Amino acid sequence: MQEKKYQQLQAFVYIIDDDASIRDSLEDLLQSVGLEVKKFESTYQFLAHAHGALHGCLVLDVRMPEQSGLAFQKQMQALDIHLPVIFITGHGDVAMSVLAMKRGAIDFLLKPFKHQDLIDAIQIAMQKDKQRVMLELEQQHFHTLWNKLNHGEQEVIKQVAKGCLNKQIAAQLNLSEITIKVRRASAMRKLELNSIIELIHFLEKIK
């Protein structure tokens, strides 16, 4: 189900570089291998167009007039932007690359770089972003199922996950054992679960 939902999302390679010729050449390269591209001349222009959830990856120039790529990478978490980053630069050094990688960059490529090196890095970045989105979709699905339960069913199922027997739960909640059985069965059906192991895994996911 999550795979189908992911396929409905649009993933892009977002290129941010102040050099128009580089933006255009990268767009041609990436479109030639079937990738969807959006390009921007600055991080500010990118943010002006970045509405809603973003999927894909970011190809980011290190040195730009208005804001450097490294400064933007540092800011991304606060902006709730979780795209994997690939840096490209014509003036990089070891210190820059180490800092970028420590902050989670996928790669740090010096211009001129091999086209295949960039494509390989982008494929890694796109797969990493897909894993992140798939996890989010799974958690959303689990929370949707959990919210189908009424309060009483939630209370019962939490005790079931702790290993409590129906008789024990009935005593704890001051209810009849038959009521516990009914709520337990209803909750498991709504959650689409078949075993205690599945239930424990489910509850861990919605914490």
| Domain ranges for the chain | 2-137, 148-205
Average pLDDT over residues 89-110: 87
pLDDT at res. 5:
66
Average confidence score pLDDT of the chain: 91
Write out the H or E segment, with its range, that includes residue 54: none
Q: Rounded to 10 degrees, what is the CA torsion of 124, 78, 206, 2?
A: -40
pLDDT at res. 1:
60
pLDDT at res. 205:
85
> Could you tell me if 131 and 63 are in contact, meaning their C-beta atoms sit under 8 angstroms apart?
no
pLDDT at res. 58:
97
Spatial separation of the C-alpha atoms in residues 7 and 175, rounded to whole Å? 46
Strands 107-110 and 12-16, how do they pair?
A: unpaired
Write out the H or E segment, with its range, that includes residue 12: strand 12-16
Average pLDDT over residues 38-58: 91
HSE on the CB side for 50, CA within 13 Å? 25
- Looking up tokens 């540092």, which residue turns up? 74
Per DSSP, helices labelled H in the chain are 2-7, 20-32, 43-49, 69-76, 94-102, 115-146, 151-161, 166-173, 177-190, 196-205
CATH number of 2-137: 3.40.50.2300, 3.50.30.40, 3.30.590.10, 1.10.10.10?
A: 3.40.50.2300
- pLDDT class for 95, splitting at 50, 70, 90? confident
* DSSP secondary structure, 99-117, as one string: HHHHTT-SEEEESS--HHH
Examine the pLDDT at 151 and tell me if it is beyond 70: yes
- pLDDT class for 111, splitting at 50, 70, 90? confident
pLDDT at res. 99:
87
Q: Was domain 148-205 assigned CATH 1.10.10.10?
A: yes
Q: What angle, rounded to 10 degrees, do the helices at 196-205 and 151-161 form? A: 110
Selection from 159, 164, 112, 133 nearest residue 52 by Cα: 133
